[in-house]
C-alpha cells in the first residue's frame, strides 16, 4: 500500500468516508441541473424581481446554473408567512403532527441522498468519498431524533411545594420561541441547515432558512422535498437564497423574528449581536475556531502525526473545528516535522469527483486568495514552510491550494491566531503539559480540540483544562445528534444538537396556580 493510499484509508475511517458506488460516480459526472426556486408561504417560485444569481463549480470555475435571487419583497413575504403560521395555526401545539412531518422530511431526503452527495461535490467542491458524512448521512440522522423529541420532550415540569407557597401549584412550561431565522454557511450546508431546521421545527417554531449564496442548491433541493413530499404547512418553513448580504441582514433586524440562529464567521456574528440589540432579540451563534491537537509525550506520535496532519486537509481545510494547530513535545518535534512533511506530500488532492481524492478545491476564488494571503503572512512572519504553499502546478483551473504545512510557528503569529479556513497546519512545540494547555488556550477562540495520550485518564485531565466547548480524547468523535455542540470565548453563544440544542428553540414560562 502506498503512503497516499494508507493515509486515505486512515482518514476515511475517521471521517466516515467510503468508496462511492458506480451509480453515484455516474451521477456526479453528469451536468448538474439543481433546483433553482425559493420556497415562500408553501410555494416554490421565482423571486418577485425575477432576478437570479450564478452557481459556480469551484473545481472547474464554470457556471453550473442559476438560482432565484431573493430580494427585500421575498424576505418580507417569508417573514410574514412564518409569523402567520406560528401565530394562527396549530403547528406550535400539535406535537404528533410535527413528528410526522419531520419523519416525512427525513424519508424524502433519504431518497435524495445521492443527489445531495453529488450536489456537495458540484457546489462545495467536497471530495466525493467524504460526502457520506456531514453532507448526507450525519445530517439526515438528525431528523428522526428531533422528530421523536418533538413528541416525547417534557414541555411541562411540576415543581415541589414550598412552605411559603402553600396551596399554590407551580410549574415550568417550555414553549417555542416563535419565528426563527436560520442563516447557514457554505462549507457544510446541509448539516448546518439540519442543526437549525430540525430542532426549530420539532420544538414548534416556524423558520426562514437563508443559505450561503455559494451553495444554494442544498437548500433549494430541501425546498423541493418539503413542498412535494411532506405535509409541512405553508409558512412553517421558508427558504430564501439571496446573493445580497443587505437583503439577508433584514432577517437579523426585523422585530417579527424571535431568534436568529447563525453559523459562520466571528466577524458576522458580532454584527448579528449588534443588530439584536436594537430589537432585543435572541441569538445563537456557532462561530470560528483555531483548534489545537495536543499529542502528549506518551502518545504514539509516529502513528498519530500523519493522520493529525491529514485531517486539516479534509474538506480543503474549510471546517471550523478542524485541528489546525498540532502541538507536540519539544523532544519529539524533529520527528513530528519529518512525519508531517511526508504526510503532506502524500495527501491525495485534486478533482473531487475522483474516488481517491481526499482534498478538493476552496469554495471560491476569493477564499483561495484569502488562504494564499495567510500563507504569505506566515512566511513573512518567519515560519518555516515545510510543504505546499501555493497553487498546484497541475491544477491551474479550479480554486485549489496545495496542502500546506508550517513549522517554527511563533505562538502569537497570525497563522497561529486567526482562522485560515484552508488546508494549512501549524506545527508547534511545547515544553511540558502545563505549557501545552497554555498554548492550546492561547487564542481568542474556544470551539474544539483534541488530546492524545497513552494514559486515557491523563488525556481526560488535560481535556478538562482546555477552554473549548468540544474536546476529543484519544480519537473520540464529539459530533452526534445527542451531544451538544457549542463554543467558548469568541467561538459562539448557545448550542446545537442534543437536548440543549433543542432547548435553544424554547422559551421558559413560570406558572403559579392558586388553590
The helix-helix angle for 333-346 and 3-15 (nearest 10°) equals: 90
Q: Residue 263 — φ and ψ, nearest 5°?
A: -125, 130
HSE-up (13 A, CA, CB side) for residue 309: 32
Select which of 77, 115, 123, 286 is catalytic.
286
How many other CB atoms are there within 10 angstroms of residue 384's CB atom? 13
What's 236's DSSP letter? T
- Alpha carbons 346 and 182: distance in angstroms, whole number: 39
The closest of 135, 123, 139 to 362, measured between CA atoms, is: 123
The closest of 175, 253, 284, 260 to 209, measured between CA atoms, is: 260
HEC string for 240-266: CCCCCHHHHHHHHHCCCCCEEEEECCH
- Alpha carbons 467 and 498: distance in angstroms, whole number: 20
Q: How far is CA 79 from the centre of its chain?
A: 24
| Virtual torsion, Cα 229, 47, 191, 94, nearest 10 deg | -50
Burial class (CB in 10 A: 0-12, 13-18, 19+), 66: middle
Across 19-124, where does the E strand assignment appear? 38-40, 43-45, 52-56, 63-68
Examine the residue annotation and report whether 286 is marked as an active-site residue of this protein: yes
**Which residues lie closer than 8 Å to 88 by C-beta, 6 or more apart?**
none
- Alpha carbons 481 and 96: distance in angstroms, whole number: 20
- The helix/strand/coil state of 60 is coil
HEC string for 255-313: CCCCEEEEECCHHHHHHHHHHHHHHCCEEEEECCCCCEEEECCCCCHHHHHHHHHHHCC
**β 282-286/424-430 pair status:** unpaired
Which residue is listed with cell 421558559? 508
Q: How far is CA 199 from the centre of its chain?
A: 15
Helices within 29-94 (DSSP H only): 72-88
Element (H, E) at 427: strand 424-430
The closest of 325, 280, 492 to 425, measured between CA atoms, is: 325
Gap between the terminal Cα atoms of the chain: 77
Examine the residue annotation and report whether 88 is marked as an active-site residue of this protein: no
- Residues forming the active site: 286, 320
Amino acid at each position: 500500500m502506498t503512503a497516499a493510499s494508507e493515509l486515505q484509508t486512515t482518514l476515511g475511517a475517521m471521517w466516515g468516508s467510503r468508496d462511492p458506488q458506480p451509480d453515484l460516480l455516474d451521477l456526479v459526472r453528469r451536468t448538474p441541473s439543481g433546483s433553482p426556486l425559493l420556497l415562500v408561504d408553501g410555494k416554490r417560485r421565482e423571486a418577485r424581481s425575477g432576478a437570479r444569481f450564478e452557481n459556480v463549480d469551484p473545481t472547474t470555475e464554470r457556471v453550473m446554473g442559476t438560482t432565484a435571487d431573493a430580494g427585500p419583497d421575498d424576505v418580507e413575504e417569508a417573514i410574514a408567512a412564518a409569523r402567520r403560521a406560528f401565530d394562527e395555526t396549530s403547528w406550535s401545539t400539535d406535537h404528533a403532527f410535527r413528528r410526522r412531518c419531520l419523519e416525512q422530511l427525513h424519508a424524502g431526503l433519504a431518497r435524495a441522498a445521492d443527489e445531495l452527495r453529488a450536489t456537495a461535490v458540484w457546489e462545495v467542491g467536497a471530495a466525493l468519498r467524504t460526502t457520506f458524512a456531514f453532507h448526507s448521512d450525519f445530517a439526515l440522522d438528525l431528523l428522526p431524533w428531533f422528530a421523536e423529541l418533538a413528541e416525547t420532550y417534557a414541555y411541562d415540569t411540576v415543581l415541589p411545594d414550598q412552605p411559603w407557597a402553600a396551596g399554590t401549584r407551580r410549574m415550568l412550561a417550555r414553549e417555542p420561541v416563535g419565528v426563527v431565522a436560520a442563516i447557514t454557511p457554505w462549507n457544510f450546508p446541509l448539516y448546518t441547515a439540519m442543526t437549525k431546521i430540525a430542532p426549530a421545527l420539532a420544538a414548534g417554531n416556524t423558520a426562514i432558512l437563508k443559505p450561503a449564496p455559494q451553495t444554494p442548491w442544498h437548500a433549494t433541493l430541501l425546498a423541493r422535498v418539503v413542498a412535494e413530499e411532506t405535509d409541512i404547512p405553508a409558512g412553517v418553513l421558508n427558504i430564501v437564497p439571496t446573493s445580497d448580504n443587505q437583503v439577508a441582514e433584514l432577517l437579523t433586524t426585523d422585530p417579527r423574528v424571535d431568534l436568529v440562529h447563525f453559523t459562520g464567521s466571528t466577524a458576522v456574528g458580532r454584527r448579528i449581536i449588534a443588530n439584536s440589540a436594537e430589537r432585543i432579540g435572541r441569538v445563537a451563534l456557532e462561530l470560528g475556531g483555531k483548534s489545537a491537537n495536543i499529542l502528549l509525550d506518551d502518545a504514539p506520535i509516529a502513528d498519530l502525526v500523519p493522520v493529525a496532519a491529514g485531517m486539516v486537509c479534509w474538506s480543503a481545510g474549510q471546517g471550523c473545528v478542524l485541528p489546525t494547530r498540532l502541538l507536540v513535545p519539544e523532544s519529539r518535534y524533529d520527528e513530528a516535522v519529518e512525519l508531517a512533511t511526508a504526510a503532506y506530500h502524500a495527501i491525495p488532492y485534486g478533482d473531487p469527483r475522483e474516488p481517491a481524492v481526499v482534498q478538493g478545491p476552496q469554495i471560491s476564488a476569493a477564499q483561495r486568495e484569502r488562504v494564499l494571503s495567510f500563507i504569505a503572512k506566515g512566511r513573512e512572519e518567519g515560519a518555516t514552510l515545510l510543504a505546499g504553499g501555493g497553487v498546484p502546478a497541475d491544477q491551474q483551473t479550479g480554486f485549489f491550494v496545495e496542502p500546506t504545512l508550517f513549522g517554527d510557528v511563533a505562538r502569537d503569529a497570525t497563522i497561529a491566531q486567526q482562522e485560515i479556513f484552508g488546508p494549512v497546519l501549524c506545527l508547534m512545540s511545547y515544553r511540558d503539559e502545563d505549557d501545552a494547555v497554555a498554548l492550546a488556550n492561547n487564542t481568542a477562540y474556544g470551539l474544539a480540540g483534541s488530546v492524545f495520550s497513552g494514559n486515557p485518564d491523563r488525556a481526560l485531565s488535560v481535556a478538562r483544562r482546555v477552554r473549548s466547548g468540544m474536546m476529543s480524547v484519544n480519537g473520540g468523535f464529539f459530533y452526534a445528534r445527542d451531544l451538544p455542540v457549542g463554543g467558548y470565548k469568541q467561538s459562539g453563544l448557545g448550542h446545537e444538537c442534543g437536548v440543549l440544542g433543542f432547548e435553544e428553540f424554547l422559551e421558559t414560562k413560570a406558572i403559579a396556580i392558586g388553590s
